[in-house]
Amino acid sequence: MVQQMTINQSGFHVSHYWIEPVSFALYEERTIQEWARLLQYAGSLIVLVTEEGEPVGALLPETIVAAISHGETAIEKALESVEVIEIENRRTPSPDGSKVVLIKEGNDYIGAVTRENWRRAREEYEQKAILEAILENAYEGIVIVDKQGKIVKMNNAYRSFIGGKDEAEVEGKFVADVIENTRLHEVVKSGIPERGEIQLIEGQNMVVHRIPIWQNHRVVGAVGMLIFEGVSELYEILQRARVFLSEESPSTEPTKKNATSVERRLIGRSEALQSCKCFARKVARTKATVLLTGETGTGKELFARLIHQMSNQANGPFVAINCAAMPETLLEAELFGYEEGAFTGARRGGAVGKFEQASGGTLFLDEAGEMSNALQAKLLRVLETKQVDRVGSCRPVQTDFRLIAATNADLNHLVADGKFRKDLYYRLVAITLNIPPLRERKEDIPYLISAFMDRFAQEYGLRHKRFCEDALHAFLEYDWPGNVRELANAIDYIMAIGEEEKVTSDTLPPFLRNHAAKKESLKAVARRSEKERIEQAIVLANGNKAKAAKLLGIHRATLYRKLKEQESS
């Protein structure tokens, strides 16, 4: 069951991250239940050895559980075969079959790699190789920096552009010492992406992107990209694009252009937002009724427009109406239309309603939960019969539209309270897209800040402002009850009112400054309380830090860290 081999140079490197500590036990007579208890005590795996120290096999939790569940009594049925690998130059080949790999260095076993970890290590290795190939073969110059602004990786295209430097000459160096006029280290501090910026490098105006890398709600680095060889090439590409667009079919181009335009307005890279976009694309393939739910300001109408523009009805009209914006009688007239003389003040010749206007396209009913029960019943009849009776008319009019409804109310509760009809509710909720609030996708905030700064800079003819770390922190700490709309208004204030080029916590809108001050006040109270508890514990322990840590229920190292933080503050 054991193979011995020496590793050659052709294998891939398994890092210590994947190597688990291993326990050894003498291969002797025990019941399978006794071995299970021993494994539970030892941890993830046990290697059984002979009296001479030779490995016999390995016990894993999954193998012993499987053996017991099948009624096995002999431990041999639960043993996993072992392969011993000696490390040379830290390179390890793939093991034969499904085995546990015991890693040996000299005369000592330094750990083991399970089949699952071996698979993950192999995937990690292959993904790294693919990324390396992409970086080195990319037309664009790409540089990656860590959170200190030091270069982790610079591809061949970028190194060639700045003078053909070797990897050793750039990696580990502060980015500003290698690339002139860069702001990549500033992007690491601010966390705000900078796209399409002009940067003078090697005497040429270059178009660059600077994108922060976020991990667990923290900036851990940034990526810089030289997108074009220069501004002159950008103009050439734009000219070619104009020619291409002028040659495309006019019947299809507006639809594709509009769908792309709408999707670009749904800004962010969070998994939650991408999942919503993916769902919208799938729904767009059908004519099914869609219900969009979410808080105010989350972008429900944008998603409705996206579904419309990606659907087969994209060349038809998109008609929107807010059901909460007008009284019931006026809303009915707006939806159904009316004949001349139908009511006092009716327009001469009557009017076509939204149901008819949307025929061949999409009707977007915003705040659908605000409709009266009577109007809900009439809407349901239109959906079922595809016919509309104008106010004051006895002749039904045919219509065929796709309905997208939206609400920030809980329709389920409204149904329970008798404020929303069950039959219409079941018609609407079959396909529901819930759009998450901004507080649940805060990783999108830096991208939203960047996009809205772009918009208002163009609108007001102003230069971009630079966000300082404390300002971004205030944006990330705030929960944004008004969601994206509220954030857009905050950026509007900063661009229109703020006179400084840098955005700090002192130049934020008043509501953000007040919120940041309250949070800081609460943190200060918590810090004072913690300091008092630590001081009391040290007094009770007569100055003994180990005893004080025990009294506080924390590790001694944690206590020392907290004391150091208190000293520095």
Q: So what's the pLDDT on residue 253?
A: 47
Q: So what's the pLDDT on residue 528?
A: 76
Pick the CATH number of 2-123 from 3.40.50.1220, 3.10.580.10, 3.20.20.220, 3.30.1360.40: 3.10.580.10
Q: So what's the pLDDT on residue 321?
A: 94
Burial class (CB in 10 A: 0-12, 13-18, 19+), 546: exposed
Quick: pLDDT tens for 2-36.
333 333 334 445 555 567 777 788 888 888 888 88
Q: HEC states along 151-219?
A: EEEECHHHHHHCCCCCHHHHCCCEHHHHCCCCCHHHHHHHCCCEEEEEEEECCEEEEEEEEEEEECCEE
Which class in CATH covers the domain with range 439-508?
A: mainly alpha
Look up residue 431 and give its two tokens.
Answer: 């396909």
Same fold, 2-123 and 439-508: no
Quick: pLDDT tens for 57-110.
887 777 788 888 888 878 888 787 777 766 654 445 455 554 677 777 777 777
Classified as helix, coil or strand, 377 is: helix
Better pLDDT: 57 or 496: 496
Better pLDDT: 525 or 532: 532
Q: So what's the pLDDT on residue 257?
A: 52
Q: So what's the pLDDT on residue 7?
A: 32
Architecture of domain 516-568: Orthogonal Bundle (1.10)
Place of tokens 């969070």: 270
What percent of the chain has pLDDT above 70? 84
Which helix (H) or strand (E) covers residue 553, if one does? none
DSSP lists the bridge partners of residue 11 as none
Which helix (H) or strand (E) covers residue 243, if one does? helix 231-247
Is a pLDDT exceeding 80 seen at residue 542? yes
Q: So what's the pLDDT on residue 89?
A: 42
* H helix count then E strand count, the chain: 22, 24
Domain residue ranges of the chain, discontinuous segments joined by +: 2-123, 138-233, 256-434, 439-508, 516-568
Which fold would CATH assign to domain 138-233?
Answer: Beta-Lactamase (3.30.450)
* 284-290: average pLDDT: 93
Place of tokens 């509309």: 388
Which fold would CATH assign to domain 256-434?
Answer: Rossmann fold (3.40.50)
Q: Which of 77-86, 174-183, 446-455 has the lowest mean pLDDT?
A: 77-86
